[in-house]
Amino acid sequence: MYSINAHAKVNIFLKVTGHKNGYHTLLSRFMRVEDLYDTITFEPCECESFMIEGCNDIPLESNTIYKAYKALNAHTGDLDILNFFYRHKVIVTKRIPSQAGLGGGSSDAAAFMRLVKNVCNLLLSTEELAKISATIGADLPFFIYNYPSANVSGFGEVVEPFIEEPLKLELYTPHIGCNTGLVYKTFKEHFLSNVRLSSIVGWDQLTSREILEKIHDPAVLNDLYKAALMAYPELSKAAKKEWYFSGSGSTFFKIKN
């Protein structure tokens, strides 16, 4: 068996910087959550087609791991990938909540790609793998590079490592699933015109601890927070004072005492 952990992330801050070609651009600090991860395992199996276990509620065509498999095949044309998955199935041990702003699906797909690169000896650089992953989802390049902390910008494809002391984080995820597409659509309709880039100058140079100790309002740190509250009013009841909001939701986080 071959196995790899797929860690969750939080967005220390997330600022939308514009909208282009139907997609939002952003500037965000991503931080890996060390103690929360899914596990991706390749287990020997005689398979007639690509097989995934552990994601039963997600149709195969919509599964980010399957999309990653298709993208790798299309880019490389490497028969070793096809042959490997006739002899192995993918097992996903889920621990990261879905639709929670923690990047679970993206992390799973990126970890899958990193593991396939190793087991099939693909002659791809990390940069090439990140470019392929960006065609699947905006969060994937961060997980491909696997930095503990990074400034992420553009459509998610620009990932710059940020050297800092890792934070121990406490997470709280209410039983509310937030659809990323709906949250961004709500943001575009109601909040995009209010974007002011001057308000975030220098944020990418501050440590995550400095940012969280300086700014206590989750709506200031995360442009998607108000849009998520509008799309999912029940989040207001779940919110806790002085907890921050990750991605498009629904997870709240803070530094552990």
Structure confidence at residue 63 (pLDDT) = 95
Q: Tell me the C-alpha distance between 14 and 205, whole Å.
A: 14
Structure confidence at residue 232 (pLDDT) = 98
- Which of the two residues, 124 and 21, has the higher pLDDT score? 124
DSSP state of 211: H
Query: Which distant-in-sequence residues (6+ apart) come within 8 Å of 149 by Cβ?
Result: 29, 30, 31, 32, 161, 162, 163, 164, 166, 208
- On average, the pLDDT of the chain sits at 95
Q: In the chain, where are the structural domains located?
A: 2-161, 169-255
pLDDT in tens, 73-101: 999 999 999 999 999 999 999 999 999 99
Q: Tell me the C-alpha distance between 251 and 31, whole Å.
A: 14
Is it the case that residue 257 has pLDDT exceeding 80?
A: no
Of the chain, the percentage scoring pLDDT greater than 90 comes to 88
Is it the case that residue 157 has pLDDT exceeding 90?
A: yes
Instruction: Name the residues annotated as catalytic.
Output: 9, 139
Residue whose C-alpha is closest to residue 249's, from 55, 98, 101? 101
- Give CATH for domain 2-161: 3.30.230.10
Structure confidence at residue 166 (pLDDT) = 86
202 token code pair = 């220098």
